[in-house]
Amino acid sequence: MIRGKKAESKIISVYWFVILLLVATGIIVMVNVFYGSPYDIRRIEAEILSENIANCISPGGEINEDLLSPTEIFKEEFRDNFLSRCNVTLDAQSEFKDIQYYLEIEFTKKDSPKRVLFEIVEGNPNFKEDCNLDGTKHEKLVQCVQKEFYSMGEKGTLYSIKMTSMVRKTEQNAK
C-alpha cells in the first residue's frame, strides 16, 4: 500500500514538472513574441523628414531666400544641392542596398494649385507605386506621409507646398 502511494506521488511530481515546463515555455514564447516584434518607426521617421524639410524650405513663414529669389524665381542651384542645403542624408545603409527613402516636394501658387511651378525629387522612386496600393496593403511595404502647408514669397505671393516622404526599411520595422 505504501509502495503504491510512493509510485503515485512520483508520477504526480513528474506531471507537475511537465506542467511547470509547459508554463515556463509558454511565458518564454509570449515574451519572445511581444518583444521580438519590432517597433514600426517609419511613419515617425517620414514625418520628421517632412518637418526638417519644411523647416529648411520655410523657416519662419517665408520661403527660404536661397530657394526663391526676391523676384520670386525658384533657383535651380537649390534643387541641385537640396540634400546638403537642408542637411538631409538619404544614404543606403550598405553598398548592396538601395536607398530606402523618397522625397517629393511640389510648389504651386495657392490660387492655381494644379500648375506645378517647381519640383524637388530625391531618393529612390522605385517604391513610389507602393504608396498607391489600396488600404493597408502598402503599410508593410512602405510608409508614406503627405503634408501640405503654405508659405510666402518676398513679394507677398502665397505658395502651396506639398511634400511626400516615403520610408521603406521594411526589414527593420515590420515582420
Which residues sit at the interface with other proteins, rule CB under 8 A? 15, 19, 22-23, 26, 29-31, 33-34, 36-37, 39-41, 44, 50-51, 54-55, 58, 60-62, 110, 147-152, 156, 158
Let me know if 54 is exposed, middle or buried by CB neighbors in 10 A (0-12, 13-18, 19+).
Answer: middle
* Shorter beta-carbon distance to other proteins: residue 40 or 72: 40
* Shorter beta-carbon distance to other proteins: residue 31 or 92: 31
State which H helix or E strand residue 15 sits in. Answer: helix 2-36
- Neighbour tally for 86: CB within 10 Å: 21
Pick from 122, 113, 115, 119: nearest CA to 150: 113
What Å distances lie between residue 105 and 15, 123, 147, 168, CA to CA? 66, 12, 10, 18
* Shorter beta-carbon distance to other proteins: residue 23 or 116: 23
* Shorter beta-carbon distance to other proteins: residue 113 or 125: 113
Residue 134 CA to residue 129 CA, distance in Å, equals: 11
* Shorter beta-carbon distance to other proteins: residue 95 or 115: 115
Taking the complex as a whole, the smallest distance from the CB of residue 66 to other proteins amounts, in Å, to 17
Taking the complex as a whole, the smallest distance from the CB of residue 37 to other proteins amounts, in Å, to 4
* C-alpha cell of residue 76: 535651380
Taking the complex as a whole, the smallest distance from the CB of residue 29 to other proteins amounts, in Å, to 5
Taking the complex as a whole, the smallest distance from the CB of residue 34 to other proteins amounts, in Å, to 5
Taking the complex as a whole, the smallest distance from the CB of residue 148 to other proteins amounts, in Å, to 7
